[in-house]
Amino acid sequence: MTSDVSNENLPGTDRAGQITPSPLPLPPPPPQELYSIVSQVGEGTFGKVYKARNAVTGVHVALKRIRMEAERDGFPVTAMREIKLLQSLRHENIVRLYEMMVSNGNVYMVFEYMDHDLTGILSQTQFSFTDANLKSLCQQMLAGLAYLHHKGVIHRDIKGSNILVNNRGELKLADFGLARFYQKRRRSDYTNRVITLWYRPPELLYGATVYGPEVDMWSAGCIMLELFTKKPVFQGNDEIHQLDVIFKILGTPTTERWPGVTELPWFELVKPKEVIPNHFRGLFQKWMSPAALDLAEQLLDYEPSRRISAVQALDAPYFTQEDPPAVLPTDLSSLEGEWHELETKRERAKKKRKTEGPGQA
């Protein structure tokens, strides 16, 4: 087949039709060839997350596929918000967004790959974190939050599966699908249907809609306890039960401990039926040092305005005065396999099927 177009004006050829070096860089290979998917590693707020390998560099990345179900309405606003937000963030404790990619009608966010998430890694039994490692993980989480809050961002979904850890022991906050910018001087009205139930602060469970970064600090307190006990501490089945679980550990709130509690929208509906004392220190002292308990207690203060900030928390005696000093858990490199919440759930389901045996519902 011949072409009517002469070579004369085509870039990259001379008058004799010989190919000359092109001044333009070669286009990258098509996305489906650039990345080969290795496995699914998670389920984000708004789409599946895959481990993939870059065919050119051999480097692993995380591909987060953006659900396009509502395609007729254009690109999902939630995804657009997350992308915009992530592009404005650059910190060693925040997961890095490399680029955006479109392949076969699917839109992907391309992230640096992290080997594990906190939920997965706390479920493994191959090795145990030292007190110095736990201190480092806690410090890195708080450093990530301090940066976010300094940039005027509330994460609103801090939980084990959104806290990623690589084999070098570096921790990074991820999944900004629910994150919002907030104004430090003027508190905004938001939905209280955010933050996974087990990590949701009591003011949101009582219907508060005006809040700021202190909601993330409650979640950080829950994570701190989880680091030491290896499992989520406040495991409620629904909002009312969640408050119940919190009260059984921290005691029922009083107007001394939480001055504005009776003014909250749903207080009358779900006010405590009995007075329960605070059992917090007695329950956790077998896992945590006095300085660690002090910090956790300040993160889990009922009164949102008294809850310690991330910057203040990093200056707590637990980090600045108490031995041992924080040490990165670099031994993670010896861990077999990769540990994510997804595998943990699958393992749990497998064990459940085994114990129930064939023929049982």
Pick the catalytic residue from 157, 175, 216, 301.
Answer: 157
Burial pattern 137-173, b for ≥16 Cβ within 10 A else e, equals bbbbbbbbbbbbbeeebbbbbbbbbbbbbebebbbbb
Distance CA 183, CA 197 (A): 25
Known catalytic membership, residue 323: no
Distance of CA 21 to the CA centre of its chain: 47
DSSP per position, 154-220: E-----GGGEEE-TT--EEE---TT-EE--SSSPPB--S--S-GGG--HHHHTT--B--THHHHHHH
Is residue 163 a contact partner of residue 223, using CB atoms and an 8 Å limit? yes
What type of residue is 4?
Answer: D
Which tokens hold the place of 105?
């009608």
Q: Which residues are catalytic?
A: 157
